[in-house]
Structure 1
């Protein structure tokens, strides 16, 4: 592969609690190459070998669809994580316990046969917000708080285009930490605690909500908890916009109005928006790590399919 092609293309991946999505990013044309998009299911409670092999397989499939060997890889990764050295520090978060302390960068370097220096990691909430600020729900706003609600609770802040991870999920809340209250497992646990029954995901609760006052009350409780947790944060940070993404955002019809009413009571001019770009925001935000390395001006192509 020529040096020019190496500079122009990045295999980017978004690591979720139940899946990995990978695709090749054309940095010169500022777009995702759709034919390379690959999504595989990941068992975050599996063994280290099972997890890492699935990640490597997704990256491999993406570049095989592209037709050229991998030369640069960027991953949007949940924390806590040593992003510079590529070592997982995730523990006690009910996911990816098996890879704690492992050097993911070294593993992928050997598995994909590329230089470890050409594998970059970025916090997933940071990557998500980067994409949304450039061409999504946060575009045009000076100070944006990004929240990802899914298997975990991600958070990042963008001020004048500079994005940093906030790691609010590790902050104390009630009898535990925020991650335990603003993630899928809270909904499943709360429903079981209230009814004695089990459901497989938040989508199941949505389907029951029309006929279940219990489910509607659970979503109301979620909105109250999240508004109370964010109250001091939005007053301290003075954010113009909050952008909400992640799988739980798909249930926004159940909680967004209540959350908005409560948060705007604390900050009248605050706007709460749903993310627009889906996984594509994290894919582009992760690839942007190579932008800062080479000084390229990457702008997300808001018109690509899936937007």
Structure 2
């Protein structure tokens, strides 16, 4: 692998997005914010496996990307779910039914070790923050000065980007109704609420959307989801006063069934759905890394 000596820094960053069941890795050109298509690798990961198997899957993806791209890189950026010490690279994920085996591990050292590079070239960023940063740079938030964003999927992520700098808001942990926002604005809420209404299980949001033509309970769930999101976000959006709210994550694939209601509930805010898909997190993580490399 080719690593820059920092005297003549190339624009290429090895970047990765780690999810609950996969890793996607690629090379990002930070001069253009474009992902090198020939470098994209997506591998399934058993997040309930042992540490060696998890780290081994990540190693395979990163090395496959480097082999496919064959470029000199100046650093590595990883979009990672929390809880995680992003500065030190230590995982504190526990009690979330994923990645239990790497709890307390120094992932920075592990990646630096199997790629045989200095640890200071390995950087981490919260996955929601990286996603919103990517969309703000070259996606649905491009052209707006102040961008608020949420990620809707197995969990509820949130971030805010202004003047090109994004920060994690961690709204998912905020108290809401009988628990926290994450419990109302994620896939498991759709499953739980539909079961409460019907006594029937539903596999995921996509499966629920498929029921809409003939199931009024499914429509009620989407309507309630929009109402909950608007209710929860109303106060923070007033405080942040963003130019746009960007919705990201897998649940937005069903946005046709809740976005019109959300816009009715929040008429004062421009709401856009993400444009970049998984590439947003890859771009956001790589830009974060490039900044750190340049300042090191």
Normalised to the residue count of structure 1, the TM-score between the two structures is: 0.88
The reply to whether residue 58 of structure 1 matches residue 61 of structure 2 is: yes
Shift of 1:141: 1.6
Do the aligned partners of 1:144 and 1:242 also contact (CA within 8 Å) in 2? yes
Shift of 1:200: 2.4
The reply to whether residue 129 of structure 1 matches residue 132 of structure 2 is: yes
Q: Which residue of 1 aligns with 2:280?
A: 281
**Residues 75 and 176 (structure 1), Cα distance of their counterparts in 2 relative to 1, 3 Å cut:** same
Moved more, 225-234 or 23-32: 23-32
**Residues 184 and 286 (structure 1), Cα distance of their counterparts in 2 relative to 1, 3 Å cut:** same
Q: Paired residue for 1:13, among 13, 16, 19?
A: 16
Q: Which residue of 2 aligns with 1:203?
A: 206
**Residues 47 and 213 (structure 1), Cα distance of their counterparts in 2 relative to 1, 3 Å cut:** farther
Do the aligned partners of 1:6 and 1:72 also contact (CA within 8 Å) in 2? no
Local SS of the residue matching 2:87: coil
**Residues 70 and 30 (structure 1), Cα distance of their counterparts in 2 relative to 1, 3 Å cut:** closer
Q: Which residue of 2 aligns with 1:189?
A: 192
The reply to whether residue 35 of structure 1 matches residue 44 of structure 2 is: no
Shift of 1:29: 5.2
Do the aligned partners of 1:191 and 1:198 also contact (CA within 8 Å) in 2? yes
Distance (Å, rounded) in 1 between the aligned partners of 2:3 and 2:248: 37
RMSD of aligned Cα (Å): 2.1
**Residues 69 and 193 (structure 1), Cα distance of their counterparts in 2 relative to 1, 3 Å cut:** farther
Q: Which residue of 2 aligns with 1:139?
A: 142
Shift of 1:228: 0.9
| Residues matched between the structures, number | 292
Shift of 1:140: 1.9
> 1:219-254 deviations in whole A, cap 9, x for unaligned?
111111111111111111112210000000101011
**Residues 77 and 2 (structure 1), Cα distance of their counterparts in 2 relative to 1, 3 Å cut:** closer
Moved more, 22-31 or 241-250: 22-31
Q: Which residue of 2 aligns with 1:216?
A: 219
The reply to whether residue 111 of structure 1 matches residue 110 of structure 2 is: no
Do the aligned partners of 2:3 and 2:72 also contact (CA within 8 Å) in 1? no
Local SS of the residue matching 1:7: coil
Q: Which residue of 2 aligns with 1:272?
A: 271
Gaps of 5+ in 1: 297-307
Do the aligned partners of 1:63 and 1:70 also contact (CA within 8 Å) in 2? no
Distance (Å, rounded) in 1 between the aligned partners of 2:272 and 2:92: 31
The reply to whether residue 97 of structure 1 matches residue 90 of structure 2 is: no
Gaps of 5+ in 2: none
**Residues 210 and 285 (structure 1), Cα distance of their counterparts in 2 relative to 1, 3 Å cut:** same
Distance (Å, rounded) in 2 between the aligned partners of 1:133 and 1:112: 30
Local SS of the residue matching 1:35: helix
Normalised to the residue count of structure 2, the TM-score between the two structures is: 0.91
Distance (Å, rounded) in 2 between the aligned partners of 1:98 and 1:199: 29
Do the aligned partners of 1:70 and 1:112 also contact (CA within 8 Å) in 2? no
Distance (Å, rounded) in 2 between the aligned partners of 1:17 and 1:294: 28
Shift of 1:116: 1.3
